[in-house]
Structure formats: structure tokens, C-alpha cells
Amino acid sequence: MDEWNEVGMGPVNGVGLSAEIDPEQLSDRLDGRVALITGAGSPDGIGYATARRLAALGADVAIVSTTRRIHERAGELKVTGFVADLTDEAEVGALADAIAEQLGPVDVLVNNAGLASKASPEVLRPVAQLSLDEWRAEIDRNLTTAFLVSRAFVTGMAERGWGRVVNLAATAGPVNALPTEGAYAAAKAGVVGLTRALAMELVADGVTVNAVAPGIIHTAASTFVELKQGLGSPAGRPGTPDEVAATIAFLCTPGASYITGQMLVVDGGNSVREAAFR
């Protein structure tokens, strides 16, 4: 094995620590890349905002949701839309085949599916009162979806030597918790565990895997209580889908090549504050 030189910049296993990196490898553009964003059916949601931003960075974007309204969103964004139940292994496989046929291999994956909506509200019930079916439903839509979709695409990324995966966690679970949100919190904490394990499995193949954990974000699914809580944050307001999307987009770029296995919290400082202002 080669030894270090006196200033610590000698080669390690024949690779110089001061070796230059091609500037194109640190670009903030995604031209020529295919990006898939799941859970992008709402025009006021994080998935939609992320798809719009990645398209602006030059990516060839595919979006997917469980209903045909995804085709309306695709038309608005001038991207390609697909309908699939991402808790169903067979449908995820069919989705992968369809994207490969229409757009080519996926380079960027944003696992946003799972966040609650008005049509599919979060189960709010103390753990002692949760049914097994309710527990499984929350785990499936928030964690199993990320597992199945990631599994369908990361092998191809690794074989091609480049890829980006960003999973949507939440502050609930990995950072804090509220009563009646046990299943959701467990699922989102699981998303972070999956993120870190997958990051270590793929780091040698040029694929990064990170998580973004939004706090209170003003979407169409936000309740009055949630928005009021956002006004009490250190930032004095809830976040916006575009602010979360900007964070996701950065992690998807070539320039984020040395960030993997991380969880980036987007909550206006809410999780940092020790106590409410008096």
C-alpha cells in the first residue's frame, strides 16, 4: 500500500487525494438524465414542485400517482405521467418496464409517494387503538413504496455507475413525534433507516441515497391546525412545496456527489428550538 507523504496529500492505493474532478461531474444540471418522481398527483404538492424543478434543470421527467389525474399534471408540466399502485410489487415492475420503454433508464429517483392527502388521510389514532390493517396501510404507503420503487431502479443505476435517490421522510419519526401518529412516525423513521442502508450498499457504484425531512409544509392537504402550528415556528410561517423541492433538487444534481446517507431537515428551524418563544 502506498504511504502518505508528509503533508498528508500522497496517494492512497494509488489514487492521489488532490486529484482533480471533472467540472461536469459537479454540475447543477441534469441534461440527458431521466428522473422519476412518485406521488406527484397534486398541483400543490411537493412531488409536483419537484418535477417542475427537475424538468427546469434539464431532466427528462416521469411522474406517477395512483389516479389518472397524473395525466393532467403531466400535461401541465410537459412531462410523462404514469398510473400505478406503488404498494403492489407487480405494478411497480410494470411501471419500470414502461418508463424504460418510453424514456430510457432512470438515473434520478425521488420517492415522494406516501404523504397524506385529502383523498387518503393519515390514520390518526393512539397505538393502543390502531388496528393491524391501519398499521400496515401506513407502513405500506410510506415505507414499502420507497422499498419497492428503489429496488426496481437502483440496480440499473449501479450498473451504469451513476444515480441519485432522494427519499421523503418527515420530522415526525426521525426527529420528533406527536400523539396518534405512531404508525406514520414509525414508517418515516424506517425511511431514514432504508436510506442509510441503501446508501452504504451503493456508495461504491456512484449512486447517492439521501432523505429530506419536511416539517410543516403548506400544501392542499394541510389542515388549519397544521398551518397554525407553522405560524408558531421560528421562521413564523409554514414552508412551501417549492422550498422542499429546491432541497430535493440539489441532492439530485451531479454536484451533490459527496453527500450520501444523510437526512436534511426542512422545517424553518422548528426542530432546533428548545422551547416555544415566550
CA dist 10 to 5, 20, 147, Å? Answer: 5, 14, 40
The count of other CB atoms within 10 Å of the CB of residue 236 is: 9
User: Phi and psi for 9 in degrees, rounded to 5?
Assistant: -115, 20
User: Phi and psi for 65 in degrees, rounded to 5?
Assistant: -150, 180
Nearest to 49 by CA among 73, 25, 15, 84: 73
In angstroms, the CA 39 to CA 42 distance is 8
Question: For the CA atoms of the chain, what is the radius of gyration?
Answer: 20
Catalytic-residue membership of 184: yes
In angstroms, the CA 277 to CA 252 distance is 36
Grid cell digits, residue 73: 399534471
Which among 108, 184, 188, 214 is annotated as catalytic? Answer: 184
**Alpha-helix residue ranges (DSSP H) falling in 20-172:** 46-56, 70-77, 89-102, 132-139, 145-160
Query: Which residue reads 440499473 in cell numbers?
Result: 156
Q: Which residues belong to the active site? A: 184
